[in-house]
Amino acid sequence: MSATLKQAIQNEARRLGFILAGVTTPDPPPHLSVFEDWLMQGRHASMNYLADDRSRARRADPRLILPECKSILVLALPYTDPKTAEASNQPAPSGRVASYAWGDDYHLVIPEKLKALVAFIERQVGHPVFNRWYTDTGILSSNLMNLLQPITAEPAGVASKPAQLNVFFPTEP
């Protein structure tokens, strides 16, 4: 992917509301051993589908999912800021609602933004592009997000080195 196209995609992603946008290759993830160690320790509990041969192979080589893959876009979309959301009037003790639940359902928001981004890319390159995206499913399932984000986010240049399997995003892109 040319530097010009990469920059155009990143700019469009930000225009669509993604706070970070990076590009990496579909090569085997450099931190795949972290995932394998996690499985070997039995941390996947009853999620046996994560440890089967097919699942492991697909996480090791994204081209098994989409053979035509040449680049992987790694995007970050912020949740609604709970500080700006309406405070609860419940008397103590009361709980807080997780920040992802304050705004619109991201399962509906993200695909619409991704469709728009794919359309932009297709206009830039002048032809349809094979694509596939995930929101809490596939190789970046929510159960493994903290574990697998470093595997794709760091090479894509959108996150710093992982610490305790969390990804730290800069406050400004």
Active site residue 136: yes
Polymer length in residues for the chain: 173
Q: Which residue has the tokens 């699942």?
A: 55
> Rounded to an integer, what distance in angstroms lies between the CA atom of residue 45 and that of residue 123?
44
Helix (H) or strand (E) holding 73: strand 72-76
Q: DSSP string spanning 15-43? A: HTT-SEEEEE-SSPPTTHHHHHHHHHTTT
Q: What does residue 35 show for φ and ψ, rounded to 5 degrees?
A: -65, -45
Distance (Å) of CA 25 to CA 17, 33, 151: 23, 18, 12
From the list 27, 52, 81, 136, the catalytic residue is 136
Measured at the CA of 110, the angle between CA 1 and CA 162, to 5 degrees, comes to 65
CA–CA dist 41, 50 (Å, integer): 13
Among all residues, which ones are annotated catalytic?
A: 136
